[in-house]
Homo-oligomer: A and B are copies of this chain.
Amino acid sequence: MNDNAPSSPRIHLPEYPDILDAYKRIRKSIHKTPVLTSETYNQRFESSLFFKCENFQKSGSFKFRGALNTVLQLGEDEIQRGVATHSSGNHGQAVAKAAKTRGCRSVVVMPENAPKVKVEAVKNYGGEVVFCKPTLESREVTLQELVEREGLVVIHPFADPRVIAGQGTTALELMLEVPDLDLMIMPIGGGGLISGCSLAAYNRSNILRDAVFKEDLPNTEDIPNVEHLPNPGKTSQTGKSNPGIRIIGTEPKMADDASRSFHFGIYTTTGNRHTIADGLRATIGRINYDMIRRYVNDIVTVKESAIIHEMKTFWERMNLIIEPSCAVPLAALPLLGDEIRNKRVGVIITGGNLDLNHLPWMQESE
């Protein structure tokens, strides 16, 4: 899917008001997902971890925020035409469910080898499924043909300011509940989540001062040093001066295009995509890269074995079902050491859609 697809009418990088507007737009229709804590995890990492549980979000992942924020901004003519996207997983389900809220047709292009459970989920939310070959090229060509033939409106999974602003409401909500985080950590696939969340984190002091959220804040007295939180300053081009909250992106080593782009300072989308973290196989979007350069402090990569191990550990300790992509930031925690010690760390738990009949630790032992 091309970043400059004609169906993305706005190409500006989203700014704070976009996130604010997105939240006002979607807040009544999304789950305000719980923030969970665990003594076991806190002791293990000698830090205070706050898990923002988007695996409880409608459609099973944070993707519903961005999809809904986009669908709610479509004109009546666009709603009449219907929407389309390609996705092997969460974005497809999110678009189908979001479209349904406006009685809008939705079509999701999915690879023919997509897990049955994900295909069924899209259909259950009222989406139509069109199959393609399991290559990125086939996905894009199939979607393009479909759009041209049937006049559908494309909802890009990450390289769209409306989607980015929607995903950013995840961090906004987390900061309203835990206003004094030192650090936030999350996975990177195409970069939609981290673009929005890093922008929101950069504007923490705006968010905490905004009258709109007064009622959401736990208690005025609970907000530590709100007057002393740094103001958003001039945007740094190095990505190193994000005021207040450090933002750490995480990627599988087997799909590290964002990490390489970030560390080498050159936008790159090549590399292998064989990670078990199927939600992170997408290559990073151009506007997402631009935002990551601006607002993200570091990107850490993790091994496949660590993803599986930490996924299972989280299931056992937290009684939460998370998918492999979601375990990527958890697998990064042991690598961060001093950087998180004695810190207050927000971890975005992104989603829990996976096939329970094929669990990686079961496959391992076969």
Q: Any chain B CB within 8 A of the CB of A55?
A: yes
> By the criterion of a CB under 8 Å from any partner CB, how many residues of chain A are at the interface?
27
B361 touches A319 (CB 8 A): no
Residues of the B chain whose Cβ atoms lie less than 8 Å from the Cβ of A318: 56
B319 touches A319 (CB 8 A): no
A58–B60 Cα gap in the complex (Å)? 25
| Cβ 8 A contact of A321, one of B34, B117, B319 | B319
Counted per complex, copies of this chain come to: 2
- From A314, which residue of chain B is reached at the shortest CB distance? B321
Residue among A319, A320, A361 facing the most chain B CB atoms (10 A cut-off): A319
| Cβ 8 A contact of A352, one of B58, B319, B351, B352 | B319
Assess A36 versus B56: contact at CB under 8 Å? Given A319-B320, A319-B322, A319-B352: yes
Residues of the B chain whose Cβ atoms lie less than 8 Å from the Cβ of A339: none
For residue A191, give the distance in angstroms from its CB to the closest CB of chain B. Answer: 24
Assess A319 versus B60: contact at CB under 8 Å? Given A34-B34, A34-B36, A36-B34: yes
For residue A238, give the distance in angstroms from its CB to the closest CB of chain B. Answer: 38
Q: Any chain B CB within 8 A of the CB of A316?
A: yes
B352 touches A356 (CB 8 A): no
Assess A58 versus B39: contact at CB under 8 Å? Given A356-B312, A362-B362: yes
Residues of the B chain whose Cβ atoms lie less than 8 Å from the Cβ of A117: 316
- From A60, which residue of chain B is reached at the shortest CB distance? B319
- From A353, which residue of chain B is reached at the shortest CB distance? B319
Residues of the B chain whose Cβ atoms lie less than 8 Å from the Cβ of A362: 357, 362
Assess A361 versus B352: contact at CB under 8 Å? Given A36-B34, A319-B322: no
For residue A265, give the distance in angstroms from its CB to the closest CB of chain B. Answer: 38
| Cβ 8 A contact of A316, one of B37, B319, B322, B356 | B356
A316–B315 Cα gap in the complex (Å)? 13
A352–B317 Cα gap in the complex (Å)? 9
Known: A36-B56, A319-B320. 4 other contacts (CB 8 A): A31-B37, A55-B319, A316-B356, A319-B322
> Could you jot down 22 A-B contacts, CB within 8 Å?
A34-B36, A36-B56, A39-B58, A55-B319, A56-B318, A56-B319, A60-B319, A315-B321, A315-B356, A316-B356, A319-B320, A319-B322, A319-B352, A319-B353, A320-B320, A320-B321, A321-B321, A356-B361, A357-B361, A357-B365, A359-B359, A362-B362
Residues of chain A whose beta carbon lies under 8 Å from any beta carbon of chain B: 31, 34, 36-37, 39, 55-56, 58, 60, 117, 312, 315-316, 318-322, 351-353, 356-357, 359, 361-362, 365
Closest 4 CB pairs of A and B: A319-B352, A34-B34, A319-B321, A55-B319
